[in-house]
Structure 1
């Protein structure tokens, strides 16, 4: 809700009832008008192009309309209402530096219990599904317990919010010991915390791992918040952080015949305004680094080493041993996963698949719109 409005030909200033204020340009308001001639009432897609808006656009009137904003534009003579709540959700009049973390992100270390939901609940209760997806969106990972210990059950996890992303590994892949493995994941070796498939562009943004058997000694799963590791690196070594964010690394995979995947992306990816977007960290798949200037290479490697030390810090990891029918999902652009080595009697059999975050976030947003108390 709005408390007051002032305007000039080129902008409007509104004061909200909570005491905050924000400015909006005339061109921004006209481009984002919510009337049915500007946006389709059903799908909310824009019906005009920027060239349809007069270059000499001006505001001739702006006033309160029941707590909302009513604006008249010249030379069209067009009057449009903007809900106060909509304006509050779309404020761009910010002072100061953009925060490092995206909105709605909470970083964590090994002291946090793993967020966990029940398979039956998330499949039958929209609120439980909403809460599980919200945990993935905020924290970057979550577990599911109580599922069936059946091959391909992980595909039903992906169906909860989106679609499987098929790769050269297939719709899903087996994670168990092989005699001649095409990937070190298919051995009993321990694996350093890593993000998957950094050699793809775009990288799969979600990974699901589902347990079918786990009677071997060892083999615990570990997850590490890469955003927290990046935060710590920036706090103690801003210059090293800038090197890892400012130069592309190279990643490569050619473990099977006919496959040669390559990507050139930074280990710490930032948006143009400096906000964390993604972490790519996978020592097994890092190709020779050839895009760092000679004079910066040693400092780059020092920052790379330190990021690895932070990721390997036992205090950073949340550890758990999956039981048959349990699974977990990670945001593969943020959360690294690791595995302790296993050997001896018994067996360990997981299945994995990839999916993409846009489907998860879309399903979550739709559920939150149906259940608005989730956002309170």
Structure 2
């Protein structure tokens, strides 16, 4: 009864700033800033427990909690005003902001805040009204994303490589953006590999199948390619030699995200494809050699590709992380494409070789290797930012078709399919 009277009193106070909430389980208090009334909730183990949406002033920011959130979230008022998506501030046809951020006062304050059942409504001191869906606030708040985002990746070894029913989709199920496309893209995100079966063994059919995922990336190798052991390019892929586990295009500033292979003509003997989960190797490396993991995450090394009329050079980390979440996002490992080691000072040279040696030992451990014999009719798509590939030596005429897909195009498709 006392609580009801307190909230009623709050709503009738003739003050410039008001905070309202439906069915609030709270007590009446005053903010430390401007002595303004606020509704706040009792803390239990530093987590708010509420029966209905509630918000209260914290000076330059608003604290919000709703029943389904495990914790309260804070939003600076300038952030809230910048994220108004009304028709005056946001073009829903072009998905672009229309307001000028320079026009927003850094010390902007609301006139009224109402925490409704489904959304938060703010009336600003200039009369502008903004509404915010609670899901939007949760998904776009730094703490909210940190709390709720969970990696969809599943690490594997040679013996725990995912089964065909988890990774393989027939061509007919992805044509025309069919229902199988989401399964394929999810497999690539989750395991780092995905397979398309029942594909005619031609370059044209391969391209048609892959373009159901996204457009093909054009590099100096072309768009689609079919190669054999003719040394057309200065690359060991154009030979019959054994190739150890590695990732491709480390010499590009942004390595190609997806690599697709289709064995158009198998070799008479050998030529099996090697797959190694680089993220699993990195996980093992971090556990066994934490100092090495930190070193290779913070010391960039140069990589290059050289042939007549062409010289590509990049400088990047072997272990790359998301700048916000610090989650591992890319494993760049290619012993052949390393350029002269000019990026590490004298006192770090011996450390580099020791750490790289330990990493390579894990890459080559038999337990981490999965071998597969690619046959005509099946395309394998490999997440080149995660999974290393290699090849056994072979004899005879072997023709391999394929292409690269760009990170931006692939990630766009994954978001459209609600996989990312």
Q: Could you say what secondary structure the match of 2:102 adopts?
A: helix
Select between 320-329 and 19-28 the one with higher mean Cα deviation. Answer: 19-28
Whether 2:338 is the aligned partner of 1:290: answer no
8 A contact 1:154–1:353 mirrored in 2: no
* Alignment match, 2:98: 47
Q: State which of 329, 333, 350 in structure 1 corresponds to 2:400.
A: 350
* Alignment match, 2:206: 154
8 A contact 1:37–1:47 mirrored in 2: yes
Whether 2:79 is the aligned partner of 1:31: answer no
8 A contact 1:191–1:340 mirrored in 2: yes
Q: State which of 253, 260, 273 in structure 2 corresponds to 1:221.
A: 273
Q: State which of 104, 107, 110 in structure 1 corresponds to 2:155.
A: 107
Mapped partners of 1:179, 1:226: distance in 2: 28
Q: State which of 84, 107, 115 in structure 2 corresponds to 1:64.
A: 115
Cα-to-partner distance string for 1:84-110 (whole Å, 9 max, x where unaligned): 2222222312699x99x9743333222
Q: State which of 49, 56, 68 in structure 2 corresponds to 1:7.
A: 56
Mapped partners of 1:62, 1:223: distance in 2: 55
Mapped partners of 1:85, 1:94: distance in 2: 10
Mapped partners of 2:79, 2:51: distance in 1: 18
Whether 2:312 is the aligned partner of 1:261: answer yes
Task: Give, in angstroms, the shift of residue 192 of structure 1.
Answer: 0.9
Mapped partners of 1:184, 1:2: distance in 2: 64
TM-score using structure 2 length: 0.80
* Alignment match, 1:79: 129
* Alignment match, 1:204: 256
Task: Give, in angstroms, the shift of residue 157 of structure 1.
Answer: 3.1
Structure 1 portions without partners, runs of 5+: 369-373
Task: Give, in angstroms, the shift of residue 153 of structure 1.
Answer: 2.6
* Superposed structure 1 runs of 4+ greater than 4 Å apart: none
8 A contact 2:266–2:376 mirrored in 1: yes
Q: Could you say what secondary structure the match of 1:72 adopts?
A: strand
Task: Give, in angstroms, the shift of residue 230 of structure 1.
Answer: 1.5
1:323-338, aligned counterparts within 5 Å?
323-338=375-390
Aligned length, in residue pairs: 364
Task: Give, in angstroms, the shift of residue 55 of structure 1.
Answer: 2.5
8 A contact 2:259–2:403 mirrored in 1: yes
Mapped partners of 2:195, 2:51: distance in 1: 42
* Alignment match, 2:45: none
- Pick 1 or 2: higher relative contact order, CA cutoff 8 A, min separation 6: 1
| Change over 3 Å in CA distance of 1:250–1:218 after alignment to 2 | same
Cα-to-partner distance string for 1:285-344 (whole Å, 9 max, x where unaligned): 10121211212211111111111121222222332111102111122222211112222x
Task: Give, in angstroms, the shift of residue 193 of structure 1.
Answer: 0.9
Cα-to-partner distance string for 1:267-301 (whole Å, 9 max, x where unaligned): 11223343323221111110121211212211111
Q: State which of 286, 304, 307 in structure 1 corresponds to 2:359.
A: 307
* Alignment match, 1:371: none
Task: Give, in angstroms, the shift of residue 139 of structure 1.
Answer: 2.4
1:156-171, aligned counterparts within 5 Å?
156-171=208-223
Q: Could you say what secondary structure the match of 1:168 adopts?
A: coil
Select between 123-132 and 275-284 the one with higher mean Cα deviation. Answer: 123-132
Task: Give, in angstroms, the shift of residue 218 of structure 1.
Answer: 1.8
8 A contact 1:220–1:321 mirrored in 2: yes
Whether 2:17 is the aligned partner of 1:17: answer no
Q: Which of the two has higher C-alpha Rg?
A: 2
Q: Could you say what secondary structure the match of 1:3 adopts?
A: coil
* Alignment match, 1:362: 412
Mapped partners of 2:51, 2:228: distance in 1: 59
* Alignment match, 2:181: 129
